[in-house]
């Protein structure tokens, strides 16, 4: 028996198995960059963040994030099928770990891209356009450039990552009726 997408969503929402996931990293490639923060937000609960003490030293947090993701029944990301999950898997490989076991994965970027026509596809634009309670937090270029020089920058990145998963949940709530298919 196969569940319809909307029935599956109701089930994982009630069972607390639905999580929103975002990462912040020092770059866009996992061989030259490292993970700074991974935020996992169970549906209608507070975010849980895994944070490095120092950039480049992400072995502990990628393993902890992997465990949290494997405990979930379904992930929701924004462009996470192309960035967040592959980046984490790259960092896990770096540390001699196995990749994250797959789960049903709703990538809101691809879901919305195929269901609506807007001038911009960024999460920030869609949250603003839909008037959601949570908006995407901006981070200055100086904060990014000086990420390893001051620990307050790691705190800023943690706030941003948590803001992203809270906004992602708002985006999901506003548009989940459009979800017709869920893949891994």
Structure confidence by residue, pLDDT tens digits, 163-174: 999 999 999 999
C-alpha 146, offset from chain centre: 23
Class of domain 5-177: alpha beta
Taking 60 as the threshold, does the pLDDT of residue 26 lie above it? yes
What's the whole-model pTM score?
0.96
**pLDDT per position as a tens digit, 60-112:** 999 999 999 999 999 999 999 999 999 999 999 999 999 999 999 999 999 99
Rounded Cα distance, 24 and 39, in Å: 9
Q: Compute the radius of gyration of the chain from its Cα atoms.
A: 16
Mean pLDDT, rounded, of the chain = 95
Q: What is the mean pLDDT of residues 147-161?
A: 91
Identify the band that residue 151 occupies on the pLDDT scale cut at 50, 70 and 90. confident
Residue with token string 């990014």: 144
Is residue 1 very low, low, confident or very high in pLDDT (cuts 50, 70, 90)? Answer: low
Residue 38: its H or E element = strand 35-42
């Amino acid at each position: 028996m196969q569940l319809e997408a909307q029935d599956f969503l109701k089930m994982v929402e009630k069972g607390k198995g639905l999580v929103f996931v975002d990462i912040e990293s020092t770059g866009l490639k996992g061989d030259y960059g490292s993970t700074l923060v991974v935020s996992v937000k169970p549906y209608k609960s507070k975010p849980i963040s895994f944070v490095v003490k120092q950039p480049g030293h992400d072995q502990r947090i990628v393993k902890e994030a992997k465990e949290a993701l494997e405990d979930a029944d379904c992930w929701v990301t924004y462009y996470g099928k192309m960035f967040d999950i592959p980046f984490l898997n790259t960092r896990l490989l770096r540390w001699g770990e196995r990749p994250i076991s797959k789960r049903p994965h709703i990538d809101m970027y691809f879901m919305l891209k195929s269901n609506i026509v807007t001038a911009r596809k960024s999460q920030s634009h869609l949250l603003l356009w839909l008037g959601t309670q949570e908006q995407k937090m901006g981070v200055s270029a100086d904060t990014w450039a000086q990420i390893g020089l001051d620990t307050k920058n790691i705190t800023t990145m943690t706030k941003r990552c948590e803001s992203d998963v809270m906004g992602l949940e708002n985006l999901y709530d506003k548009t989940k009726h459009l979800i017709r298919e869920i893949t891994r």
